[in-house]
Amino acid sequence: MDDLLIQHGRVVSVLTGETFAADVTVSGDTISGVLPPGTAGPARERLDATGLLVVPGFVDAHMHVESSFLTPATFAALAVPHGTTTVLADPHEIVNVAGSDGLRWLARAGARTPMTMLLGVPSCVPSLPGFETAGAELDAAAIAGLLDEPGVVALGEVMDYRAVVGGERRMRDVLRVARDRGVIIDGHCPGISGADLSAYLAAGIDSDHTKNPPPVALEKARLGMHLQIQEKGISPELISGLLALPLRPPFSLVTDDVAADALLTRGHLDHVARRAVEAGLPPLEALRAITTVPAARLRLHDRGSVTPGRRADLVLLEDLASFRPAIVIAGGAVVARDGAPAWNPAPDDATGFRETVRLTPPRADDLAWRPGLPDGSRRVLAIRVNPIDTSTAAETIAVEVRDGTVHLPAGAALLAVLHRHGRTGDRAMAPVVGMALEEGAAATTYAHDSHNLVVLGTSGESMAAAARAVIDAGGGVAVARNGKVAALLPLPIAGIMSDAPADRVVAEAAAVRDALHDWGYRHANAFMSLATLTLPVSPALKLTDRGLVDVERRDWAAQPGDGAQGPDGSEGPEGPEGHG
């Protein structure tokens, strides 16, 4: 006798594109039959799927749990009702704070959820050695040990693509241990093409989830790189380019980073699939890109289609265009109905990851920019942000220096990055332009990838208020206006996650997002834009606790008045170019 009979539904074959009436039987955690209607035997439980489509559970081949601001238990409780039953999580956020212990904790916590949570070992901790200060550092030996941990199937995204192309020893050693283990090697190489792309692929890295111009994305697909397309990378031009190819290359839709409020209100992989369909991708192709294709990418040959003998991870959809699940089944058990989890998630014990923000709250005067420029009108280098994605550009702006302090023009804000992992004094500053910001500030310890304290503001009083709120909360994201906190998302777990109930985290995240928009930081994903101002492997100009980084040159960006030395008095990692 089977354990479950799903009857009166229509099965969608991701292998042939057909939709047909069938009953699906489940024994234990395995699909035991896909049978003509009415021919199945008795079952312990029957599920009426009248009017519903039976499709495979959704597989996310590249994502970060920490970017939801939730621990694995509460993340799964929000993501599973949207149909996601398997993820490959790259925990480089918590590992940058807590080292190997962070990966092991996330693996244990993920294993307690109904979701299959596989892990990749972060390849770049910190993301750019020598240019930023993280809470941990993983060398090739440490990575080799973590690749043997239960649930680990991959080397996480290789972000330091310039080191790969340049043949630097650390990345050669990291890639060697991954190749020796035979694991999946994920990539991160925005915009590279030609000889650099060939060198990157030849190192054994065969995927990319970053946003690329459509011609570059097609070049990558042409050379065998698996495209992992996240929402910000979806465009009608990319979709039409893929559809116009003589043979369709395998590609996946992925989420990468989704905050809790967006996860609840918009969805997870189902949302990305809807966006792809809106851009012109046929619904069946979108379904394949969140089921059988990513399952094959992750070498999970036990799932990804409604096939006898495969794992009973199934989603019952109202229709294929909306991708909205009515019922979700994982491992043969009903785990969600009508957008709500069908289990009570047990809180994750994160005792060892609190009190990691080791900073004295700065005063307003501490957040003034005094780079040693003589008084008068000067021109300085600024970071230009845009309202769509996380890329930045360098721009020279005019400032006034009075009594050694830089005063920015209207339309510019001051960005400060303060080291938070136990050593005091390391900080760097630079202007930011591109947003019409009013008086106010934002502060965050959720800041890719080293997660130092980032403060952006137009007044010292509001910058200090936002920074204090975040430090007092043990980490988080805050917005302040007129010297008072307008919204706060506490993230006391490693300064990047919360173990509060999901509804509270969602409400707090939404309040911060609204406050950012009200302040003038209007971005398609304001959290990610703010958080990646410090990511020195993401184009094109970023600020770390050690200085201003020219990402393309993989070198310090020269800021007027800096001289030739780093903040510790030594030359910069690539030579005496100076930095902010």
> What does the pLDDT look like over 104-127, one tens digit per residue?
999 999 999 999 999 999 999 999
Q: pLDDT, tens digit, for every residue of 433-451?
A: 999 999 999 999 999 999 9
Task: Give dist(CA 180, CA 176) in Å, integer.
Answer: 6
Helix 100-111 and helix 72-79: axis angle, to 10°?
Answer: 50
Phi, psi angle pair for 37, to nearest 5°: -55, 135
pLDDT at 564: 33
Each domain of the chain, given as residue ranges in start order, spans: 57-298, 365-556
Helix (H, G, I), strand (E, B) or coil at 146: helix
Pairing relationship of beta strands 476-481 and 484-490 according to DSSP bridges: antiparallel
Q: pLDDT, tens digit, for every residue of 394-442?
A: 999 999 999 999 999 999 999 999 999 987 678 999 999 999 999 999 9
Task: Give dist(CA 471, CA 478) in Å, integer.
Answer: 10
| pLDDT average, residue stretch 356-362 | 95
Q: What percent of the chain has pLDDT over 90?
A: 94
Q: pLDDT, tens digit, for every residue of 265-303?
A: 999 999 999 999 999 999 999 999 999 999 999 999 999
Q: pLDDT, tens digit, for every residue of 523-548?
A: 999 999 999 999 999 999 999 999 99
Give residue 83's pLDDT band: very low, low, confident or very high (50, 70, 90).
Answer: very high
Decide: 188 and 564 in contact? Cβ < 8 Å.
no
Q: pLDDT, tens digit, for every residue of 146-171?
A: 999 999 999 999 999 999 999 999 99
CA distances from 471 to 104, 361, 366, 454, 523 (A): 26, 7, 15, 11, 25
| pLDDT average, residue stretch 22-46 | 97
> What is the DSSP track for 175-200?
HHHHHHHT-EEEE--TT--HHHHHHH
CB atoms within 10 A of CB 322: 13
Helix (H, G, I), strand (E, B) or coil at 216: helix
| pLDDT average, residue stretch 62-79 | 98
| pLDDT average, residue stretch 223-229 | 98
pLDDT at 572: 38
Give residue 33's pLDDT band: very low, low, confident or very high (50, 70, 90).
Answer: very high
Helix (H, G, I), strand (E, B) or coil at 170: helix
Task: Give dist(CA 557, CA 384) in Å, integer.
Answer: 14
Give residue 559's pLDDT band: very low, low, confident or very high (50, 70, 90).
Answer: confident
Give residue 560's pLDDT band: very low, low, confident or very high (50, 70, 90).
Answer: low
- Give the residue among 154, 92, 143 at the shortest CA–CA distance from 119: 154
pLDDT at 568: 36
* Predicted confidence (pLDDT) at residue 569 exceeds the cutoff of 80: no
Name the amino acid, one letter, at 464: A
Task: Give dist(CA 110, CA 106) in Å, integer.
Answer: 6
Residue owning tokens 């936002």: 466
* Predicted confidence (pLDDT) at residue 578 exceeds the cutoff of 60: no
Helix (H) or strand (E) holding 218: helix 214-222
Decide: 96 and 135 in contact? Cβ < 8 Å.
yes
Partnered with residue 213 across adjacent β-strands are none
CATH of domain 57-298: 3.20.20.140
Partnered with residue 441 across adjacent β-strands are 457, 480
pLDDT at 561: 54
Task: Give residue 334's Cα distance to chain centre.
Answer: 28
* Predicted confidence (pLDDT) at residue 44 exceeds the cutoff of 80: yes
Q: What percent of the chain has pLDDT over 70?
A: 96
Give residue 567's pLDDT band: very low, low, confident or very high (50, 70, 90).
Answer: very low
Decide: 511 and 520 in contact? Cβ < 8 Å.
no
Helix (H, G, I), strand (E, B) or coil at 568: coil
CB atoms within 10 A of CB 410: 7
Helix (H, G, I), strand (E, B) or coil at 485: strand
**101 class by beta-carbon count within 10 Å (0-12 exposed, 13-18 middle, 19+ buried):** middle
> What is the DSSP track for 257-305?
---HHHHHHT-SHHHHHHHHHHTT--HHHHHHTTTHHHHHHTT-TT-SS
Task: Give dist(CA 442, CA 426) in Å, integer.
Answer: 20
Task: Give residue 489's Cα distance to chain centre.
Answer: 18
Give residue 22's pLDDT band: very low, low, confident or very high (50, 70, 90).
Answer: very high
Task: Give dist(CA 352, CA 364) in Å, integer.
Answer: 32
Residue owning tokens 């007044």: 459
pLDDT at 424: 67
pLDDT at 579: 30
pLDDT at 121: 98
Give residue 77's pLDDT band: very low, low, confident or very high (50, 70, 90).
Answer: very high
Residue owning tokens 């489940």: 26
pLDDT at 108: 96
Task: Give dist(CA 537, CA 532) in Å, integer.
Answer: 10
Decide: 155 and 118 in contact? Cβ < 8 Å.
no
Structure tokens that stand for 482 in this block: 């007129």
Decide: 218 and 248 in contact? Cβ < 8 Å.
no
Rg over CA atoms, the chain? 24
Helix (H, G, I), strand (E, B) or coil at 85: strand
pLDDT at 422: 83
Give residue 346's pLDDT band: very low, low, confident or very high (50, 70, 90).
Answer: confident
pLDDT at 558: 83
Decide: 502 and 70 in contact? Cβ < 8 Å.
yes
The DSSP code for 84 is E
Mean pLDDT of the chain: 95
Decide: 101 and 131 in contact? Cβ < 8 Å.
no
